[in-house]
Amino acid sequence: MGALRNGNFEADWSEEESHHCKVFPVEGAPFEQEIGNIFSPPGWVVWFRHEEGNWSQPECRDARSKNPDRMHSGTKGFLVFTFGRKQDAGLMQQVSVQAGARLKFSIWAHAWSNHKDDSRPDDFPHPDNPRWSEGVGQGPYFALEGTVDDDAIRNYTFWVGIDPTGGTNPFADTVVWGEGAHIYNVYHEAPAVEAVAESDTVTVFTRSRAIWPFKHNDTYWDAAALVEGEVEGEVEDDDKDHAREPEEGEPPRISGQPREQYERVYVLLPRDASKEWAKAAVDAFWGQGYTIGRSADDAGVGELDKRTVIAVNPEAWGAGEDGTGLKGFFEKYYAGVEYKVVTAATPDDLLEL
């Protein structure tokens, strides 16, 4: 598989010096353009939706500031922003893959969404404070789309997508999008998206949409990754547990090895957990830097020296194939996991633990 270029956004803009972008008018055909205050990062193309008086052209450049951090890792991230205007914009990149490959695209993101209105100082009490986002305040915030009613929180929504046919229109029916999420003040991984490649080229997309013309509508992206799984039809059922031998000249595939050792704590929700449970888990555990999800395999996998799973209401997983339940599952398939249990009758109870 061809590698995702500049997924960490560390490449210097001077490597390509591109102002190239794609514009998608609400009415009319898409077109390509060079725009001076759009600095497309190497390997990527900026795109945006445009409608006069409604959806505006953003400005785009590297983000290097700290306190608060505007990068998830390394020395910089990427910034897409508007002043006093709405935006619907993102990045795209075409990648060479093997047709039939199962792909997973992920990226980290957050927004700073802040307004100033001298006629309504009580509604917007912290104008121009880069640590304050309307609706959520100063702290970190994550919620899935559809789980909040507050208009200020709903301002920013993040998505990631894959066009398995290799198309370059984010509004095409062929694009597979992940769940939307509202993310503020601190980086959090946007909900990843998975798709099966239908050709030898796919296109990955990021998208951020701000629906209110706040004074500051700032999007930050960093640490993108495109991971390839099995190729459909290539491996027989009896052989699915065996790694494919690399082809001549292809680097060996390393599965589960981290770039460097770190301690992972995974808050594991039941498979049928609702969005209310997900939001409660984020509110309860966000500040501790834990991973939150519903996949027992994701919780246990990885060549890490320290892996901890906090299982919320593990009885919901049932007795399992050998009657030992979720604990037995980890002992059998992911030895070495430190297993802990949290029991809560309601999402509110989870917040009080």
Of residues 12 and 247, the one with the higher pLDDT is: 12
Q: What is the pLDDT of residue 248?
A: 56
pLDDT digits (tens, 9 = 90+) for 177-234: 999 999 999 999 999 999 999 999 999 999 999 999 999 999 999 999 999 875 555 4
Q: What is the dihedral of CA 69, 11, 39, 165, to 10 degrees?
A: -100
Q: What is the pLDDT of residue 145?
A: 95
The lowest-confidence range among 49-63, 301-315, 316-330 is 316-330
Mean pLDDT of 339-350: 92
Alpha-carbon 155 to chain mean position: 17
Say if residues 157 and 143 touch (Cβ distance below 8 Å): no
The pLDDT of residue 254 is above 70: no
The pLDDT of residue 246 is above 80: no
CB within 8 Å of 114: residues ≥ 6 apart: 124, 126, 127, 128, 129, 130, 132, 133, 134, 214, 215, 216
pLDDT digits (tens, 9 = 90+) for 145-163: 999 999 999 999 999 999 9
Which among 42, 35, 33 is positioned nearest to 7, based on CA atoms? 42
Give the residue range(s) of CATH 2.60.120.260 domains in the chain. Answer: 13-231
Mean pLDDT of 293-309: 87
The pLDDT of residue 242 is above 90: no
- Sheet arrangement for strand 306-312: 291-293, 263-268, 306-312, 338-342
Residue 243's pLDDT band (cuts 50, 70, 90): very low
Mean pLDDT of 66-89: 93
Mean pLDDT of 102-108: 96
Residue 283's pLDDT band (cuts 50, 70, 90): confident
Question: What CATH number matches the domain at 13-231, 3.40.190.10, 3.30.565.10, 2.60.120.260, 3.20.20.70?
Answer: 2.60.120.260
Mean pLDDT of 327-349: 90
164 phi/psi in degrees, rounded to 5: -70, -10
Considering the chain, what is the average pLDDT of its residues? Answer: 89
pLDDT digits (tens, 9 = 90+) for 3-57: 899 999 999 999 999 999 999 999 999 999 999 999 999 999 999 999 999 999 9
Of residues 249 and 35, the one with the higher pLDDT is: 35
Q: What is the pLDDT of residue 240?
A: 40
